[in-house]
Amino acid sequence: MKFDYLALILTFLFGILICIFPPFVASVYVPVYVRFPLLFILTVFFLTITIRRKKFVFRFGPYICFFIFEIIYWAFRGNIIIGEASYFIMYVMLASGLWVGIYRINGGKVLMGNMYILIVIAFSILSILSFIAYNLDLLPYTLETIGEDGFYTNFHNVILGYISIRKFEFGTLGRVCGYLLEPSYLAWFLSVNFFMIDGFLKKRKHLLLARVIVLLGALATCSTMAWVVIPIVLFIKLVYKIMELMKISPRLSNILFSIGFVITLAIFFAFVPKQNLVDSLGTSSADDREDRAGTSFLIIANSSVPDLLFGFSPGYIEKNVGKGESNQIVKLIVETGLISTILILTFVVKCSYRSKYFMIANLLFLNSVVILLTPLFILNLLVCKWNDE
């Protein structure tokens, strides 16, 4: 009973944690002296209950030591941004401690998994309702600036959250942000979990209803990546299903798929008019993505070998360029280096390789959404891992 109450308390605290950190709007208003202590307390708790376990020491000890070395390197080079670097090492230790420590808490996996799936369903329903309410002018929305800097200016409804406007050739549509900062964040959250939700719902009728709700919620964000990623992953799923019916071995299926995927990408980049495609999908954050990527690649091209391996420091691009990088993988390479990028992406794959389509959707979204180093993404991965066990 003691551990049941502990699991309940930790689930409640983790729910608060993900809601007061990016990509949630609350992260703009909740001060750092509230957010960081909660992150610190949960990290220290999970490290405390795992630090003496051989599984933790041998699996994650060397990685954590390497990341600490990187922080020292950034400080020695004079590039370190203390706040961002502190969050970076905290996220690394939290993910590592939670991976091992959750097994020492009776009912912890079940409670956190149930909380997570409830958030997915609730946000999907809110997304659908908000899209209908705004675009059909059923409820009042007021134009509001988020935060003191005013970087985001969206329409707001007290119950249904925020709406961002997107222009199309036929007119404008309200893109649902909900309680998140951008539609792309909500699109990532709902799209990737569309491919994981079947692990929670065993009854076919419940699963079908949930899939429809989550799919409509994701599409209501009017996010280019949602419209691209979902069809791509569904097509990949169909291809694998056809190869399974043809009784092709899983190993050969993976080889054939990889070859086909590379050929498809080559054809796309060689012959598809990408700018015309982007223009037809309306205005979005993709409009200046190539410029931002070009700046990041310029930094990489002018980097020394140690800087390529160990990076400059989390937050380096925003501080020195003035614009954020929208490609998470490129951002990781610049700011944390090639070694850390490989380790972090290995963690992503390790958590989700059994849920192949969820993993593919996540990796595709990381090319356009900076979401990886957040409590929401960490819990998303670990819930997937627990669900597959």
Q: Where are the beta strands (DSSP E) in 122-203?
A: 142-146, 152-157, 161-168, 171-178
User: Which of 72-86, 104-118, 136-150 is the least confident region?
Assistant: 136-150
pLDDT at 190: 96
Mean pLDDT of 237-259: 82
Percent residues over pLDDT 70 in the chain: 90
Q: Which token pair is 359? A: 């993993």
Cα 101 to Cα 11, 109, 174: the distances in Å are 13, 10, 42
Lowest mean per-residue pLDDT among 18-32, 63-77, 235-249: 235-249
| Tokens (6 digits) for 264 | 């498809």
Give the chain's length: 389
**Cα 208-214-217 angle, rounded to 5 deg:** 140
Alpha helices in 30-166 (DSSP H): 32-48, 54-77, 82-101, 108-135
Tens-place pLDDT, residues 166-218: 887 777 889 999 999 999 999 999 999 999 988 777 778 888 999 999 999 99
Using the predicted structure, report yes or no on whether residue 11 has a pLDDT greater than 90: yes
Quick one: pLDDT band at residue 1, thresholds 50, 70, 90? very low
CB atoms within 10 A of CB 78: 8
- Return d(Cα 104, Cα 314) in angstroms, integer: 32
Q: Is the pLDDT of residue 385 over 50?
A: yes
Cα–Cα distance for residue pair 315/334, rounded to 1 Å: 10
Q: What is the mean pLDDT of residues 101-117?
A: 89
User: CB–CB of 139/132 below 8 Å?
Assistant: no
Condensed to tens digits (0 to 9), the pLDDT of residues 350-375 reads: 999 889 899 999 999 998 888 999 99
How much is the average pLDDT of 22-32?
A: 92
Residue 261's CB: how many other CB atoms inside 10 A?
14
Higher pLDDT, 260 or 379: 379
Supply the pTM of this predicted model. Answer: 0.90
| Tens of pLDDT, residues 134-176 | 999 999 999 998 876 667 889 999 999 999 998 877 778 899 9
Note the pLDDT of residue 39: 96
For the cut 60, the answer to whether the pLDDT of residue 68 exceeds it is yes
Report the pLDDT value the prediction gives residue 250, as an integer from 0 to 100.
77
pLDDT at 273: 54
Residue 200 vs residue 116, higher pLDDT: 116
pLDDT in tens, 272-296: 555 555 555 555 555 556 666 777 8
Question: What was the pLDDT predicted at 326?
Answer: 79
**Mean of pLDDT values over 28-54:** 91
pLDDT at 279 (0 to 100)? 52
Q: What are the tokens at 134? A: 């705004």
Give me the pLDDT at residue 36, please. 94
Average pLDDT for the chain: 86
- What's residue 295's pLDDT? 78
**What is the enclosing helix (H) or strand (E) of 228?**
helix 224-245
Residue 117, SS3 per DSSP: helix
> Please, are residues 330 and 312 in contact by the beta-carbon 8 Å criterion?
no
% of the chain exceeding 90 in pLDDT:
53
